[in-house]
Amino acid sequence: MSKRILTHLSSVDANMGALIKAYGPYRFIREEYGQPFQTLARAITHQQLHAVAARAIFQRFVGACGDGSLPSVELVMNAPVATLRAAGLSFAKIACLKDLASKTLEGIVPDRSTLEGLPDLEIIERLTQVRGVGRWTVEMLLIFQLGRTDVLPVDDFGVRNGFRLAYGLRKMPTTRALAAYGERWAPYRTAAAWYLWRANELHRAGKLPPPCERIRLPRVRTRRRRRARK
């Protein structure tokens, strides 16, 4: 499977092929455990925080609601606001966690086995109904927890910057242009994203090869909002 992925990416994109050759084998590791509720709860508590602070607050959250283990939906739903505030969570994040618990009980956020049987777009549409959960968060779940093979998180800074570095661009690509360019990597866009993350590592180590061919990103027109007539 891995050989087929790398052969495809290298055949449709010379620069991606050079990046693959520079870094080496595709060593993607999927998380084989965890439920969507716990994954999204962790993502919410980590938002807009540095890694050390995020981990500390999440551990206090687990201690307050889960008695040392990952809290259940019911425990989060019934947890007093004062308890969650004492764990270091803001009122906004508490509202997001309560909404996540509510939508899990309603079935909008299903269990992992149910998610496994749903297509990517339906999962994105369902989970982004939760307050504070955006497309990027769901894409990370699709990639690392569900192991979906054709996800290109164009809003991810590391993916965009890795593309800029590996393809010798002066400016950061727009999300629309990167999405359009990345269509050639289908149906293995997850692997392409993985190598773009690795491009940042190679650049820091001084081992990123120069692009073997210049590219011109597709021009993607942005929709202009029409002004309301007076």
Residue 71: pLDDT band by 50, 70, 90 thresholds? Answer: confident
170 and 86 share one domain: no
Residue 228 has pLDDT above 50, yes or no: no
93 and 166 share one domain: no
Within 8 A by CB and 6+ apart from 94, the residues are 81, 84, 85
pLDDT at 100: 97
Domain boundary among 141, 165, 192: 141
145, 30 Cβ separation under 8 angstroms: yes
pLDDT at 22: 97
157 and 190 share one domain: yes
Domain CATH for 62: 1.10.340.30
24 and 46 share one domain: no
Domain boundary among 141, 167, 191: 141
b/e string for 112-149 if b means 16 or more Cβ within 10 A? beebeeeeeeebbebbeebbbbeebbbbebbbbbbebb
Residue 222: pLDDT band by 50, 70, 90 thresholds? Answer: low
Cα distance between residue 130 and residue 160, in whole Å: 26
Region of poorest pLDDT, from 61-70, 107-116, 197-206:
61-70
Q: Which of 31-35, 44-48, 174-178, 215-219 has the highest mean pLDDT?
A: 174-178
Residue 12 has pLDDT above 70, yes or no: yes
Domain CATH for 172: 1.10.1670.40
Whether this model's pTM surpasses 0.75 = yes
Active site residue ranges = 156
Q: 178 is in which domain, residue-wise? A: 2-28+152-204
pLDDT at 226: 54
pLDDT at 70: 81
Number of domains, the chain? 2
134 and 178 share one domain: no
38, 58 Cβ separation under 8 angstroms: no
52 and 116 share one domain: yes
100 and 179 share one domain: no
The 10s digit of each residue's pLDDT in 18-67 is 999 999 999 998 887 789 999 999 999 988 888 888 889 889 888 888 76
**Residue 213 counted as domain residue:** no
46 and 134 share one domain: yes
**Residue 162 counted as domain residue:** yes
90 and 159 share one domain: no
